[in-house]
Structure 1
Amino acid sequence: MANKQLELLVKVQLEREEKLQANFMQALQYTRQAEQKYQGLADYRTDYILQSQQQGSAGLQSRQYNQFVSFIAKLDLALEQQAKQIQQAQTVLEQRRQQWLSMQKKRKALEYLLEQQRQQALQKAAKTEQLLQDELAMQQFVRRYSQR
């Protein structure tokens, strides 16, 4: 009976572990997307500066220069915000990884306990079988001896 309960508990733990793994994978995907968005913004900022420098070599009016500086400042702010998002995503990712690994550890401990109980049951069954065989051999010996 205890084995059935342990098997059920292992099954429940496995289901929980799979959910935690799925949560971890979602967090990983979100983190990667946030990093890609950051990289895209950084690349766009670099390209914008290079293009503006090329256009500026022909001369910029003060209004164009102010627009350029203002837009770069907005891009810098967006990069800062995206960096914060990445940091938060990485924190969540690490938390979910730890939860998943913790559940995996619990499941493996239960599986080990279940296997130990199975081994003990097999050993007990083997010992019982050996005792029965010994008893049968003794009875056969006594019968043969008494028939002489």
Structure 2
Amino acid sequence: MAGGKYQLLKQLAHEREAAAAERMQRAQGRLADARQRLEQLEAYRDEYRARFTARGQAGVGVAQWQDFRLFLGKLDEAVALQNGEVERCLQRLLMERQGWQNERKRVMAFDKLMEREAERALLREGRREQKAMDEFASRQFWNASRGKTD
């Protein structure tokens, strides 16, 4: 079995690649969730600002204005924190993608190694067959030449 000695290693590499792909997929999901939460926070902040601005045109008291600024500051903080989370998720995804690519390269290297091993095995088999045919032809020639001189 050509390449059989590498089969187990290839299987292990394939399993590691599959695990890396799953980790990458989970990281993509976490990034999508984080981006969605960021969009929701930004939309809520913008909506809150627009509602207060609309009410403010009719006039608001100092206490309401301070509450608005305080709450808007907290929303801005939440948006900034979520931006940080999106960035962390993105970095994690990039790291997991690199890990998956490395594992994929390893699987492809084993594929290539096994392919080359199979080619070498075919070449060795061809040489063995050629040697056997040459020996057979040589014996035939030898036997034929001995038979003529006897």
Identity in percent: 28
State the alpha-carbon separation in 2 of the partners of residues 56 and 85 from structure 1: 33
TM-score by length of 1: 0.88
| Number of the residue aligned with 1:116 | 116
| Number of the residue aligned with 1:61 | 61
Alignment of 1:37 with 2:33, yes or no, is no
Q: Deviations over 1:76-115 (max 9, x none)?
A: 0101110111121122112111111111122222221121
* Number of aligned positions between the proteins: 148
| 8 A contact 2:24–2:96 mirrored in 1 | yes
Letter in 2 for 1:132: A
Q: Which runs of 5+ in 1 are unaligned?
A: none
Letter in 2 for 1:90: L
TM-score by length of 2: 0.87
How large is the RMSD of aligned CA atoms in angstroms?
2.0
| 8 A contact 2:6–2:110 mirrored in 1 | yes
State the alpha-carbon separation in 2 of the partners of residues 102 and 21 from structure 1: 11
Letter in 2 for 1:100: W
- 1:60 deviates by 1.1
State the alpha-carbon separation in 2 of the partners of residues 3 and 113 from structure 1: 8
Q: Which runs of 5+ in 2 are unaligned?
A: none
Letter in 2 for 1:128: R
